[in-house]
Chains A and B, each alone.
Chain A
Amino acid sequence: MTTDDVVTVAPGPKPARFQVHERSKQRGTPATWVRRGGLTALLFALPILFIFGVFSWWPIVSAFVMSLQKTNLTDAPVWVGLDNFRAVFADPLLPTVIKNTAWFAVLALIFGYPVPLIGAVLMSELRRRKGLYSVLAYLPVVVPPVVAVLLWKFFYDPRPEGVFNTVLGWVGLGPYPWLADSAWAMPSLVLEATWAAAGGTVIIYLAALISVPAELYDAAEVDGASVLRKVWHVTIPQLRGVLFITLILQIIGTAQVFLEPFLFTNGGPNHATETIMLHVYNLAFANLGNNFGQATALSLLLAAFLAVMSLVYFRLTRSWSQS
């Protein structure tokens, strides 16, 4: 079984639908509906209708309803109008969590955006052992995120005997406080998140790099372009589509970051790493507790922002795929 076939999904003209029987001229009665395969189609659609209905469409509607209610999930909910949204904006922590999430996103771009690109460009020029490089780069991605966080939490031990402090001590640096200090905590989180995610980005870039048409390089050579100029004027411009896609996807992903702040620091020290998602979680499930209405309102606001981002992404992929 080769996965090669997967990618031959060539959306040509929409092929004809499968008909159980030739379409008869008469229409309307339930019997003809069944005979034409209406019932079997419905039977096949049952799993998707049930699963999406109960676990996707209904919860989306329910989110809007819950954002207008005061509820602890056990007693009957009370309608409160826009009070939950007012509470979100009156929340003294709101500026902090937005700032933290934005800071996480910016740091994630600084740490994790250029490095995979450089790595992928280098790797795409390999003539042998490309597989070894790819496997090594992708290895951290398959480590379960909880394992990665708990392992790195130990690496970030602030004592001079901590793993990172020991290593940096060899070159005369440190010891650094890492997670214990509010200025250091966020970059530490992002460093681990980058370690865990960069491999995936490298593989995406590699796939895109292979698709750069060889003729462009040939043409550049005819014009006498040097290696660096070829990389700069051919490779990078050819990647702009995928670069933008990974940028949007990374923003969408980092805006919802939860695991790292939750497991590393639980938002501390002094709310320095409390992100929007962690705040939603805290409002609903943790110490502040049972404030499901306000949590839903906040998550809807975040979702509105993300929907705009994915719409941009969607429009762009569509226009690129049509060009």
Chain B
Amino acid sequence: MTTIDRDTPPPALPGAMPGSAAAAAPSASLAAIVRRRRRSTVDNPDRGALSSADWRRPSVKHTWRSMHFLLLVLLLVWCLGPLLLLGKFAFTPTQDILTAPMAVFPNGPTMHNVDQAWNRYHIGQFFMNTVWFALGAWFTQILVATTGGFVLSVLRPRWAKVLNWAVLATLFVPAVVLLIPLYKIIVHPPVGDSLVNNFFAVWLPAGASAFNVVLVARFFDSLPREIFEAARVDGAGPFRLFWHIVLPMSKPIIGVVSVFAVIASWKDFLWPFLVLKDDSVKPLSVYLQSMANVDKGTLMAALAISTLIPITMFLVFQRMFLRGAGLGGAVKG
């Protein structure tokens, strides 16, 4: 029975993080939060401030039940209400929208708005521009974060420490500082012509996200080194290691970064507004702003169409979104 002493290695302590405490700090608090959550779910699946005994008391039960019901009504009215209203406007003639916005189809519904938005204002084309914008921004972010994380966490050359600090330092620089100098670089790039109206103007700066790099590097740190060692013994070089071992093991974090990346480009306004001015590249958000003064019915239909995709994506990938949102709060917000 000699195997008894050969215990599994001691589990990593949540708080202990020698080395780059700086980088670890946000994700450590995150890890601590989630670890505690998991433990408490295992111990006591239904434990909140109210115990099962509390729930059995009629007064407590009725109070909280009714508060929960009230909350549901408020959420329906406050969060869903405006969107339902938007959906209704999309099929209501402009005249009715303006004179009786709260009435439900006083003169019957119409397809005219949607038809106008799609065929006369070509919402579909701008929608595709947003898709392109999001795809390219996603690709740069994944490329920079995974290769950068690989260097910082796995290869770790001697200069990795400096690189790590240089990347982390940008976390403290708010976006407002970068706006004008970035614009200058896009208008007068060091090489080549102005990148205005070129998708690269939004794709490339999107990659400079220290948040992504930190997130991915922390994740790589948690991968078991024994596997890397085994791969090295089997003769795998760094490229094979990256492509065949590290990336396949990192699907969860890549998923989270991807969701962040797509949502961010879908929501972005000011930067594309400055650099993607031509109709052939303008994303939806910028185009909608220029539509602000068209016929109300058409505008409402255009707004409704633009909302459909993000909402559908959210409903399909809700778990990922909500997990990402909680995580974003623990790390960055």
| Nearest chain A residue, comparing its CB with the CB of B187 | A73
A233 to B64, CA, bound (A): 18
| Nearest chain A residue, comparing its CB with the CB of B28 | A321
Residues 95 to 133 of chain A near chain B (Cβ within 8 Å): 119, 121-127, 131-133
Residue B25 is within 8 A (CB to CB) of chain A in the complex? yes
Q: In the complex, what residues of A have CB within 8 A of residue B188's CB?
A: 73
Residues 19 to 68 of chain A near chain B (Cβ within 8 Å): 19-20, 37-38, 40-42, 44-49, 51-52, 54-60, 62-63, 66
Q: Mark A206-248, 1 if CB is under 8 A from B, else 0.
A: 1111111110011001000001001100110000011001100
Residue A92 is within 8 A (CB to CB) of chain B in the complex? no
Partner of B255, one of A1, A144, A161, A210: A1
Residue B101 is within 8 A (CB to CB) of chain A in the complex? yes
Q: Of residues A11, A13, A217, which shows the largest number of chain B Cβ atoms within 10 Å of its Cβ?
A: A11
Q: Closest CB of chain B to A89's CB: distance in Å?
A: 18
Q: In the complex, what residues of A have CB within 8 A of residue B48's CB?
A: 124-125, 209, 217
Tell me whether A60 and B101 are in contact in the complex, defined as CB-CB below 8 angstroms, given that A203-B329, A246-B333 are known contacts. Answer: no
Q: Closest CB of chain A to B146's CB: distance in Å?
A: 9
Residue A300 is within 8 A (CB to CB) of chain B in the complex? yes
Residue B150 is within 8 A (CB to CB) of chain A in the complex? yes
Main secondary structure of the interface of B (DSSP, over half): helix
Residue B26 is within 8 A (CB to CB) of chain A in the complex? yes
Q: Closest CB of chain A to B297's CB: distance in Å?
A: 11
Partner of B30, one of A2, A9, A227: A9
| Cβ-defined contact, A134 with B322, below 8 A | yes
Q: Closest CB of chain A to B44's CB: distance in Å?
A: 4
| Cβ-defined contact, A151 with B329, below 8 A | no
Q: Of residues A153, A199, A245, which shows the largest number of chain B Cβ atoms within 10 Å of its Cβ?
A: A245
| Cβ-defined contact, B155 with A18, below 8 A | yes
| Cβ-defined contact, B325 with A44, below 8 A | no
Partner of B252, one of A6, A12, A41, A323: A6
Task: State the A residues within 8 Å of B (CB).
Answer: 1-20, 37-38, 40-42, 44-49, 51-52, 54-60, 62-63, 66, 73, 119, 121-127, 131-147, 150-155, 157, 161-163, 166-167, 195, 199-201, 203-204, 206-214, 217-218, 221, 227, 230-231, 234-235, 241-242, 245-246, 249, 252-253, 256, 258-259, 262-263, 277, 280-281, 284-285, 292, 295-296, 299-300, 302-303, 306-307, 310-311, 314, 317-318, 320-323
**28 A-B pairs whose Cβ atoms sit less than 8 Å apart in the complex:** A1-B252, A2-B252, A3-B320, A6-B219, A9-B221, A10-B222, A13-B19, A14-B221, A47-B143, A48-B167, A56-B208, A57-B170, A121-B49, A135-B314, A139-B311, A142-B310, A142-B311, A144-B310, A154-B299, A157-B101, A195-B79, A203-B322, A210-B40, A214-B44, A217-B47, A227-B60, A230-B50, A235-B49
Beyond contacts A41-B151, A137-B79, A200-B329: 8 other A-B pairs, Cβ-Cβ < 8 A, are A10-B31, A52-B166, A58-B185, A125-B50, A134-B318, A143-B311, A245-B333, A317-B25
